[in-house]
Amino acid sequence: MEEDKEESSKKRTRQDSPPATAASLFTEDLILEVLSRLPARSIRRFKCVSKPWRDLIADPVHRKKLPQILAGFIYTTYDPPSVAFASVSGRAAPVEPSLTFLQPNKETPAIGKGKICYVVCNPATERWIELPPKPQAWATGFNSGKRLAFDPKVSSHFHVLGFPETTIGVESYVTGVDIFSSQTGAWIHRDSGLVEEITFFHGSGAESVFFGGMLHLVGKRNRINIGKEYAMVVVDMEGKVWKTIRLPDGSSNATIGLSQGCLHYASITQARVNNSNKKNDNLATETTLVP
C-alpha cells in the first residue's frame, strides 16, 4: 500500500514539472554554431527570444563569430584627396573615416615625422601600432606596397606583407615577400616561390583578399611574345606556400573581393566608341565577374 502511494507521488511530481525546452538542451557552443550560419537580420530577431539568448549574442567574444550587418564603406577620393564614409544603413558613420586620432598631440608621439612608417589601426577602438622598420639589409629595390592580412573571426593577430620587386629592362617582377607578424612583433623574409615572373598591380587594381589563411593578389605575367596574361597569386603567412591561378580575363582595372564565403574576381574593360553625333568619344565598359 505504501509502495503504491510512493509511486503515485512520483507520477504527480513528473507531471507537475515543466518539460525542458529544446533550446535549453543546447550548449552555448552549439547555439553559436547554428546562429553563425544564419543571416544577420535573423540574429537580431533571436536576441528577443530570452535574456540568456540576448546576453549570448551580445557578448563581445561571441559577436566575432556571428554575421554582422554592413554599416557602410570607407573610401578615398583623389580630387581633392580625402577619406569619406558612405552609409548603406542610413545611420551616421560608426567611426571617424579621416582617422583624426592618428594625428599627433600632447599624448601621442608624432607619427612618421621625418621618416616613412606604416601604422595599423582599428578605427572602432581608435587603437593603433606603428610597425618596426625592416632590417637595413632588406631595404633594396622597389616594394609593391604593404598588404594587410587579418580575419577577426579566426584570430586577433594580423600580418602585414610587402613584396620586393626587381627590374630588368622595362619589366619588373616579384622576388620575395617580407612578412610582419603582430604575434611575434618581428619581420621575416622569404624568397619568391613563383616559377614565373609576375608583377603585382599598383594603385587601381591593387586590392588583396585574406581568405582561408592565404593572401590573394592579382598580377600580370611577364612572358615574351604572349600578350597580357593575368594571374592570381596566393601566398601563406609564412611565405613558404606560393600558388598561381590563371585568370580567364585580365585588365589593370581588375579587382577581387570576398562575398558570402566565396572569392570573386571582376575585370573591367573600357573601350572608346565613336559617335558621329557627338564631338567627344564615349567610353563603353564591360565587367566580367568570376566566382
pLDDT tens track for 7-42: 555 555 444 444 445 556 677 788 888 887 877 778
Contact predicate 218/227, CB 8 Å: no
Rounded Cα distance between 121 and 125, Å, is: 9
Rounded Cα distance between 73 and 43, Å, is: 22
Query: To the nearest 10°, the Cα dihedral for 22, 24, 25, 31?
Result: 90
Minimal CA–CA distance to 155: which of 182, 173, 178, 174? 182
C-alpha cell at 227: 600578350
Alpha carbon of residue 204 to chain centroid: 17
Confidence of residue 227 (pLDDT cuts 50, 70, 90): low
pTM: 0.68
Beta strands in the chain (DSSP E): 72-78, 81-87, 119-122, 127-130, 142-149, 159-168, 171-174, 176-181, 186-191, 198-200, 208-211, 214-221, 229-236, 242-246, 255-259, 262-273, 282-290
- Average pLDDT of the residues of the chain: 75
- Tell me what pLDDT residue 191 has: 92
Contact predicate 162/177, CB 8 Å: yes
First to last CA, the chain: 75
Q: What percent of the chain is predicted at pLDDT more than 90?
A: 15
Length of the chain in residues, anyone?
A: 291
Please state, as a whole number, how many other Cβ atoms lie within 10 Å of the Cβ of residue 116.
6
Confidence of residue 3 (pLDDT cuts 50, 70, 90): low
Q: What 8-state DSSP symbol labels residue 138?
A: G
Rounded Cα distance between 110 and 103, Å, is: 7
**Pure H helices in the chain:** 2-16, 28-35, 40-46, 51-58, 60-63
Averaged pLDDT for residues 209-224: 84
Contact predicate 290/265, CB 8 Å: yes
* Residue 253 vs residue 132, higher pLDDT: 132
Q: What percent of the chain is predicted at pLDDT more than 70?
A: 69
Is residue 185 predicted with pLDDT exceeding 80? yes
Query: pLDDT, tens digit, for every residue of 250-288?
Result: 555 677 888 777 888 887 665 555 555 554 444 444 444
Rounded Cα distance between 226 and 270, Å, is: 21
Is residue 141 predicted with pLDDT exceeding 90? no
